[in-house]
Structure 1
Amino acid sequence: MSSLSDVLTTRSAGYWGVEAGGAEVDAKAIRNGDVGTSGELRWRALPWRGYTAREFTKARVHAGDIVLTTSGNCGNVAYVGIEPEDPTVATNFVRVLRTDPTVTDSRYVFHFLRTPTFASAIAPFVRGATIKNLAVESAFAAINIPLPPLSEQRRVAAILDHAEAICTKRRQVLAHLDSLTGAVFQEMFRDAPGTTPMSAVVEEFRYGTSNKSGDSGYPALRIPNVVGGAIDTDEIKTVLVEPAELRRLTLREGDLLFVRTNGNQDNVGRSAIFSEAAVKSAGFEDLPWIYASYLIRARLSDEIEPQFVAGYLATPAGREQLRERSKTSAGQYNINTEALGSIRLPTAPPAAQQEFASRVDVIEEKRKQVSAAGSADAELFASLQSHAFRGEL
């Protein structure tokens, strides 16, 4: 075992710099938000900044480097696999980590820094109530990493690299499926002959209950349950309501739920279709489902397919209409029923809508299969990580 302080021969903090063109050297800058939770680095999002020659030399990243976030979401890491096409540096909330290649394999260390063990070990060194900051030097001095011979490190890293590649491929397939519905919608309805206001095809808009959740009551969907165009039942609260309110708020197959308020404008108006199949796994058999006050329910008329409406609202044109109609107050963006009703939907014959819904069902079924396989991959990868750093691979 060796401390990370001993293993990581370079642990340089970067700089935010100045506006591009305002110093000696321009370079792309890696911010803490550019380092994802799955080990990825969002290269396309990097902004250009200006640096002195000394800052640029100290903070520049090269192939084989590891970058670590030290503020906000502390502990995210990414690996620089190839030399960046553009000159690239770390900013002040990102550390550049390097090893001595004659002693330590950098991919081996990278995989260790992605383990739950490392995440737990840095927790006592993350400080700050509002903005979290990692005390890097103190943490690295206290955290030990198993260090077998270099050949063994490379063997372990190769196994984990292979497993990670499978997980990455599965995420890419999911991302493709996520975008496929929009592509199908554009293909089928780009030449729609006209538009109609959503209010013309909605029987009723209604806000949810403002009653507090408790230990008893009816399962109630909230903002966290409307994610990625679907119903997420990972964390369901129960809310007690009077019989009259229950009748008004009980969800039916095909009801469309909208997020009506959020601090992020892009999340206002995001929607999901309610179905019994979507909530079946939550375990509230025979109980009616209701929804909370920060959601709006649109009960659609029989003449329009819910998936057609949801499909349009997920397109760039649909999202733009939602953005235009959201208003801000006290740092929160909001949309109301009147604004939702004014959204113009493309017109399409029922047969075309039904065909679209059928194609979406096929995509969703495939997505469920890939997602389940991805979950299994993630469990296997976590198991491999655990065994790898106990010398059991």
Structure 2
Amino acid sequence: MFGDVGATSRFLVEQLESVLKQPLQNGAYFSKDAYVEDGGIEMLHMSDAFYEVVIRGNLKQVICSADEYKKYRISEKDILIARRSLNYEGAAKPCLIPPSPNPLIFESSFIRVTPNPEKVGFLFFFHYLSNDWVRQKCIKPFLTQSTISGINQSNLARVPVLTPPLRLQQEFARRVEAIDRLKNTHRESLTQLDALFASLQHRAFRGEL
């Protein structure tokens, strides 16, 4: 849809900070005393973001003030960028937040990125930041390499972002959502087939077939 990301010049390219709805924000740090088993606010840690989408329901909880929650809260309208990683390939990886009525904050290993919908579509922006070529050519030059690899706010703000017309970005999102629905349908079918096979196997060993 967008041509060769590495060679195209027909679309405008802007620095990442110019396509955001609000400034970049690093996550919170709390001492061990702030963590509780129950009754706190869920807090996202690096170990919870190994995959593209965070899995809610079993996250650590902390006690925080109303001001702290307001500063570090995160929702499905945000994208988290790994600010540091022991694995070089994991540095600056983006992660999505699933919709949930329960509050969520994020810790200091992440940078919160909130795209401006008037500049970039949400799914387009996420997949752009996940693209292998973009990561190699546009993001990795801004990474620091040491014992812990990572990216800071000032470097992340300078990452070049391709900004095609919104109608193209929306069409891209529509196609991605269609593929995701198809994948979910296939997963459900596989689950049903596995259950059927297990049932037939059980009956076979009992001599019922």
User: TM above 0.5, one fold?
Assistant: yes
- 1:320-339 paired onto structure 2 within 5 Å: 320=136, 321-329=138-146, 331-339=147-155
Do the aligned partners of residues 326 and 187 (structure 1) sit closer, same or farther apart at CA in structure 2, a change above 3 Å counting?
Answer: closer
Q: 1:343 — aligned with what?
A: 159
**Equivalent residue letter for 1:314:** S
Contact 2:84 2:149 in 1 (8 A): yes
Using the TM superposition, give the Cα deviation of residue 375 of structure 1 relative to its aligned residue in structure 2, in angstroms.
4.5
Partner amino acid, structure 2, of 1:236: L
Q: 1:234 to 1:318 in 2, by over 3 A?
A: farther
Are the counterparts in 1 of residues 85 and 91 from structure 2 also a CA contact under 8 Å?
yes
Please name the residue that 2:36 is paired with: 214
The secondary structure found in structure 2 opposite 1:241 is: coil
Cα distance between partner residues in 2 of 1:251 and 1:372: 30
Q: What is the deviation of 1:305?
A: 1.2
Corresponding letter in the other structure for 2:107? A
Name the residue aligned to 2:77. 254
Paired with 1:377 and 1:333, the residues of 2 have a C-alpha distance of 43
- Give me the whole-angstrom Cα distance separating, in 1, the residues matched to 2:194 and 2:145: 39
1:4-15 to 2 correspondence within 5 Å?
none
Determine the structure 2 residue equivalent to 1:291.
106
Question: 2: distance between equivalents of 1:375 and 1:209?
Answer: 39
Q: How does 1:30-179 map to 2 (within 5 A)?
A: none
The alpha-carbon distance between structure 1 residues 379 and 342, as it changes in their structure 2 partners (threshold 3 A), is: farther
Distance 1:272 1:326 in 2: 17
Measured after TM superposition, the shift of residue 257 of structure 1 is 0.8
TM-score by length of 2: 0.80
Deviation string 1:224-276 (CA, Å, 9 cap, x unpaired) is 33344222236422222111010111223321111121111111111123341
Q: Which of 161, 169, 180 is the matching residue for 1:364?
A: 180
Q: Give the letter aligned to residue 255 of structure 1.
A: D
Pairing 1:204–2:14 present: no
1:379–1:235 CA distance, 2 compared to 1 (3 A): farther
Is 1:237 matched with 2:60? yes
- Greater relative contact order structure (CA < 8 Å, 6+ sep): 2
Change (3 A) 1:194 1:185: closer
Structure 1 vs Structure 2: percent identity of aligned residues? Answer: 21
Q: Name the amino acid aligned to 1:288.
A: P
| Root-mean-square deviation over aligned CA pairs | 3.0
Paired residues of 1:189 and 1:348 also in contact (CA < 8 A): no
Unaligned runs of 5+ in 2: none
Seen in structure 2, the aligned counterparts of structure 1 residues 262 and 373 have a Cα distance that, compared at 3 Å, is farther
Gaps of 5+ in 1: 1-183, 281-285
Q: 1:332 to 1:354 in 2, by over 3 A?
A: same
Task: Please state whether the residue corresponding to 2:145 is helix, strand or coil.
Answer: strand
**Aligned equivalents of 2:133 and 2:108: distance in 1?**
27
Contact 2:15 2:158 in 1 (8 A): yes
Per-residue Cα deviation, 1:104-125 (whole angstroms, up to 9, x for no partner) = xxxxxxxxxxxxxxxxxxxxxx
